[in-house]
Amino acid sequence: MREVPIPSELVNRLRHARQVAVLTGAGVSAESGVPTFREAQTGLWAQYDPQELATPEAFRRNPKLVWEWYAWRQERIRQAEPHAGHRALVTMEQQIPEFSLITQNVDGLHRRAGSHQLVELHGNIFRAKCFSEDRPVENWSDDGEIPPRCPRCGGLLRPDVVWFGEALPAAALHTAQHAARTTEIFFSIGTSTLVYPAADLPFVALGLGATVVEINPQPTPLSPHVTFSLTGAAGEILPALVNQTWEAA
Ligand code: BV8
């Protein structure tokens, strides 16, 4: 497959950069076969709008339905593999002195690919917490009840992800905002730039004079403002970017 040509000015800036921050969204997992948030849900879940299900109100109203939706998503993610785009970000982390990978994705694919400097802004679908205590739960007895119950207080378990209307984990958000304020180059990859406060991060970097690069097959509210707009799939563009910046050096 012909490699996508990367603007030489971007290659030059990336080669000499000390600090790089990357924000990823569901589009980075799309080529691993994990549907994006905006893609229609399939089968049993086609009738539900994710933004309706990913809320505390939905869980209070029907905890079994919400727990089963996440179990279905976990199963799809278990069948997925990180792709060359995820691996290109691992190479970037190895090449850049101060690198931050901030993800909105809850699927854990960056960690499976080998990324370490990772900030999971919206939690992780494979972790559970007690809905009553709002504290993590590692193990619980599987007596068939759905959702399972907290071994400490008997409250219902829920996925350890950030639902709409819920605050992001303070430490993760603080780290992400610091990275956006101090970075030389900010990449916004595979995100519709619609969900706040994550969607604010590229604009913070832009406002402070960072080079902002967007990688997305579609335009987003960020697109008119970026320094470089690479139109296409993360799984194609990221390996080309890494090859032309470091391998070809
Ligand atoms: C909060 C986890 C307040 C759950 C998710 C202004 C300021 C602050 C808040 C708000 C605000 N306005 C509105 C709000 C409320 C809300 C919000 O932003 N709503 C939007 C819809 C307007 N925000 C919140 O509720 C947040 N909480 O603000 O709380 C608060 C503060 C203090 C105290 C109490 C309360 C919480 C938001 C987090 C919600 N949780 N996920 C789960 O997964 O089940 S969000 C979820 O949707 C994902 O995590 C992701 O972040 C988001 C979807 O966004 P994307 O990742 O961008 O994915 P999407 O499908 O939209 O787009 C895919 C993109 O990829 C597309 O652009 C496509 O073109 C591209 N693409 C496709 N294929 C590829 C590709 N790109 C590259 N390569 C490809 N191959």
Predicted local confidence at residue 58, as pLDDT? 96
pLDDT at 147 exceeding the cut of 90: yes
Taken in order of first residue, the domains within the chain and their CATH numbers are 1-34+82-122+168-248 (3.40.50.1220), 35-79+127-161 (3.30.1600.10)
The pLDDT tens digits of the residues spanning 78-131 come to: 999 999 999 999 999 999 999 999 999 999 999 999 999 999 999 999 999 999
Predicted local confidence at residue 159, as pLDDT? 98
Q: Is 214 helix (H, G, I), strand (E, B) or coil?
A: strand
Question: Residues 6 or more apart from 135 whose CB is under 8 A from it?
Answer: 129, 152
Q: Is 24 in the pocket of ligand 1 (CB under 6 A)?
A: no
Q: Is 218 in the pocket of ligand 1 (CB under 6 A)?
A: yes
- For ligand 1, pick from 41, 110, 196, 214 the residue to mutate: most ligand atoms within 8 Å of CB: 196
The pLDDT tens digits of the residues spanning 187-209 come to: 999 999 999 999 999 999 999 99
Average pLDDT of the segment spanning 148-177 = 98
Binding site per annotation, positions: 70, 73, 104-107, 130, 150, 190-192, 216-218, 234
pLDDT at 47 exceeding the cut of 90: no
Among left, alpha and beta (phi > 0; psi -120 to 50; other), residue 154 is left
Decide: 66 and 121 in contact? Cβ < 8 Å: no
- For ligand 1, pick from 22, 37, 68 the residue to mutate: most ligand atoms within 8 Å of CB: 37
Residue 40's pLDDT band, with cuts at 50, 70 and 90, is: low
Q: Is the pTM of this model over 0.85?
A: yes
> How long a stretch of residues is the chain?
249
Residue 50's pLDDT band, with cuts at 50, 70 and 90, is: confident
Predicted local confidence at residue 1, as pLDDT? 59
Nearest CA owner, ligand 1 atom 57: 191
Which pair of tokens denotes residue 75? 């199963």
Distance 240 CA to ligand 1 centre (A): 27
Task: Tell me the DSSP string of 132-151.
Answer: TT--EE------S-SS-B-T
Catalytic residues: 122
pLDDT at 248 exceeding the cut of 80: no
| 136 beta partners | 129
Residues of the chain with pLDDT > 90, as a percent, come to 89
